[in-house]
Amino acid sequence: MIEVERLWKVFGPRAERVPGSPLAALPRAELRDRLGCLVAVRDVSFQVAANEVFVVMGLSGSGKSTLVRCLTRLIEPTAGEVRIDGEAVRAMSAKRLRELRRHRVAMVFQHFGLLPHRQVLDNVAYGLEIQGAGRAQRHARAAEVLELVGLTGHERQLPEQLSGGMQQRVGLARALATDPEVLLFDEPFSALDPLIRRDMQAEVRRLHAEVGKTMVFITHDLAEALTLGDRIAVLRDGELVQVGTPEELVGAPADDYVADFVRDVPRADVLTLRWITRDAAEGEELEDTPLPQDTVIRDAVARVLRADRPVPVVDGDVRVGVVDAEQLLPALLGHRRQVPA
């Protein structure tokens, strides 16, 4: 669906000389001091499958917002390629690019980017309006998506009359109005209160369940990434450190940076049994009913602790190992590094 290949974005004078030259190997700080260039995205490659929610996570300054903007060339990449549905984005003419933005990819912004002089309805209909859709048609469609995001009744209000959460719902509706294949989210909820943020995350999950769509979601909030992401990419200083499922990230961080990141995550909530099984000892007596290996640890706690004997863990019909209280307790309490068996 979306393929990103060796993508670079360097800001500063004569940025194009950096990628592909010996300079590319230099660390960020040295490049800045020597050339006055800032490397925002460094040699990044990944693929996003259709209907997947792909989260890009990193601290501020890690280049994640630049990366997502490079996907539709809101920021022009310095080197590398982006393909959407197999079509090379960097080769697109201005017209073709506009078509892409109008029909196939929509974006939700951190600071909403609503037009303050337009009513909610007209904000949502803006994308259709610039495509040349008729007034009745675009208003009908806008009303439809407003209902989808739960804003029916607020059509005639101005953005400033709405709360932050509601404004972002307008942003969401605006992105949905043109029925794009891809939705890009640039830290959409980081400006919102925690409670509202949780609501909105649920909203995104619900929408994803209802309308499908491929989503690329930028965030600096690990909990958000874990909640939403099918897969998560961790970005540091413009470089991809690790791409994987939430489980993989928590269970097998690629380096200390990621490990540090995920240290406070309650692993029992994220990891499944397969991360903590041990082989059964010779002739050990086991419980009769096995547990599937993709059971989240916390869900297995009651069973395992109540059992008199270790519980077998299976992948389908094949037994992959057993768990007992000894295995459970570290996952529930400690921060010990876990390695799959």
Partner 1 sequence: MTVTTAGRETGAAEDGAGHPGRWGAAGLRSGRTRIAVLVVVSVVALLSFRTTAAADSSDAAAFRFFDGVRDWVDANRDVNPLFLYGVNYIRLGVRLLVDAVSAGLTGLGFAGLVAVAGALALVVAGWRAGLLAVTGFVAFAVLGLWAESVETLALTLSAVLIAVVLGVPLGVLAARVRWVGAALRPVLDVMQILPTFAYLAPMTLLFLIGSPAAVIATLIYAVPVTIRITELGIAGVAPTAVEAATAQGATRLQLLTGVRLPMARPTLVLAVNQTVMMALSMAVVTALIDAPGLGQNIIRALERVNVGAAFDAGLAIVIMAVVLDRVTTAASRRRPHSWRVAVPVLGAAAVVAALPIGDAVPRFSFAAPVNALTGWVELHWYDVTEWLKNTVSAILLNPLETTLTTTPWWLFTVLVLVAGLLMADWRSALIAAASAAGVNGLGLWQHAMQTLATVLVATVLTMLIGVWAGVLCARHDRLAVLTRPLLDAAQTMPSFVYLLPAVALFGASRFTAIVAAVIFAVPPVVRLVERGVRDVPATVVEAALSAGSTPRQLLWKVQLPMARGGLLLAANQGIVMVLAMVVVGGLVGAGALGYDVVAGFSQREDFGRGLAAGFAIVLLGVLLDRLTQGFHRSTKGSRQ
Q: Which residues of this chain interact with partner 1, rule CB under 8 A? A: 72, 74, 98-103, 105-107, 109-118, 126-127, 129-131, 171, 174, 178, 184
Q: Is the dihedral of CA 147, 153, 158, 160 positive or negative?
A: negative
Indicate the residue among 28 and 103 with the shorter CB distance to partner 1: 103
Indicate the residue among 117 and 206 with the shorter CB distance to partner 1: 117
* Helical axes 135-148 vs 194-211, angle rounded to 10°: 120
Indicate the residue among 183 and 297 with the shorter CB distance to partner 1: 183
Give me the least distance between CB of 74 and partner 1, in Å please: 6
Residue 199's SS3 state is helix
**DSSP notation for 92-111:** --HHHHHHIIIIIEEEE-TT
Give me the least distance between CB of 99 and partner 1, in Å please: 7
173 is written with which tokens?
């509706």
Work out the number of other CB atoms within 10 angstroms of the CB of residue 18. Answer: 21
Indicate the residue among 34 and 117 with the shorter CB distance to partner 1: 117
Indicate the residue among 200 and 270 with the shorter CB distance to partner 1: 200
Give me the least distance between CB of 110 and partner 1, in Å please: 8
The Cα–Cα gap between 308 and 32 comes to 62
Q: Measure Cα distances from 306 to 186, 287, 336 in Å.
A: 45, 11, 24
Give me the least distance between CB of 165 and partner 1, in Å please: 17
**At 265, which amino acid appears?**
V
Give me the least distance between CB of 144 and partner 1, in Å please: 17
